[in-house]
């Protein structure tokens, strides 16, 4: 039996959805993470930065670009869960500037993921997984990185079948 942790980063608030600025009450990645928990069970854990990102899209892009350039590792608001309780980690994030938001890097460096299966998924607005999977591989060389799934932000409501078959292929 897999003990599954669904760890995800997501930002509610202003964002582009299919070219239009929208106010999202629940972030896209949080939405998918909840759909995955309904299907696979497991524990949800939100990767929250100690200093929340600005609600406004432009300010958020400016900070994320700066953090990426500076190879920042923003502090997290919460202590990591006890990872020894899990053998599979579903890792969800939005694509920000071609990769994962920097708090996800903080999370992957702070925990011991060696010997665990990591199953990445992202939500995005067109760039798919971009560089994120290579970055996860480099951050977690002792983990088994499974098939990664990319979901366009505007296709989430109808992504249930894709989630089911992805989980099935991963044996979860």
Residues 17-56, mask of contacts with ligand FMN (x by CB under 6 A): -------x--xxxx--------------------------
Told to check if 127 binds ligand FMN by CB under 6 A, we report: yes
Sign of the CA dihedral running 49, 102, 137, 141: negative
Describe the crossing of helices 28-40 and 160-169 by its angle, rounded to 10 degrees: 60
Residues 83-102 touching ligand FMN, rule: CB under 6 A, are: 94-98
15 counts as binding ligand FMN under rule CB under 6 A: yes
Tokens of 75: 């502090």
- For residue 132, state whether it binds ligand FMN (rule: CB under 6 A): no
Q: Which residues contact 8 (CB under 8 A, 6 or more apart)?
A: 29, 30, 32, 33, 44, 45, 46, 47, 90, 91, 92, 93
* Least distance to ligand FMN, CB of residue 88, Å: 21
CB of 96 to ligand FMN, least distance (A): 4
In 3-state terms the chain splits into helix, strand, coil percentages (rounded to 5) of: 35, 25, 40
Under rule CB under 6 A, residue 120 binds ligand FMN: no
Decide whether 155 or 168 has the Cβ nearer to ligand FMN.
155
Kind of pairing, strands 144-145 and 43-46? Answer: unpaired
User: For binding to ligand FMN (CB under 6 A), which residues are involved?
Assistant: 10-11, 15, 24, 27-30, 57, 60-61, 64, 94-98, 123-127, 153
């Amino acid at each position: 039996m897999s003990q599954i942790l669904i760890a995800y980063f997501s930002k509610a608030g202003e964002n582009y959805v299919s070219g239009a600025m929208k106010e999202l009450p629940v972030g896209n990645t949080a939405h998918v993470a909840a759909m995955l928990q309904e299907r696979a069970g497991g524990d949800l854990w939100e990767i929250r930065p100690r200093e929340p990102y600005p609600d406004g899209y432009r300010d958020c892009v400016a900070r994320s670009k700066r953090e990426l350039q500076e190879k920042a590792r923003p502090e997290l608001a919460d202590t990591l869960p006890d990872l020894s309780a899990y053998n599979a980690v579903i890792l969800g994030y939005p694509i920000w500037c071609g990769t994962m938001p920097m708090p996800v890097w903080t999370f992957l460096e702070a925990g011991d993921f060696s010997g665990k299966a990591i199953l990445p998924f992202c939500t995005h607005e067109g760039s798919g997984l971009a560089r994120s999977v290579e970055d996860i591989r480099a951050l977690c060389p002792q983990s088994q990185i499974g098939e990664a799934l990319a979901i366009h932000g505007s296709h989430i409501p109808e992504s249930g079948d894709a989630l089911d078959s992805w989980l099935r292929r991963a044996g979860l």
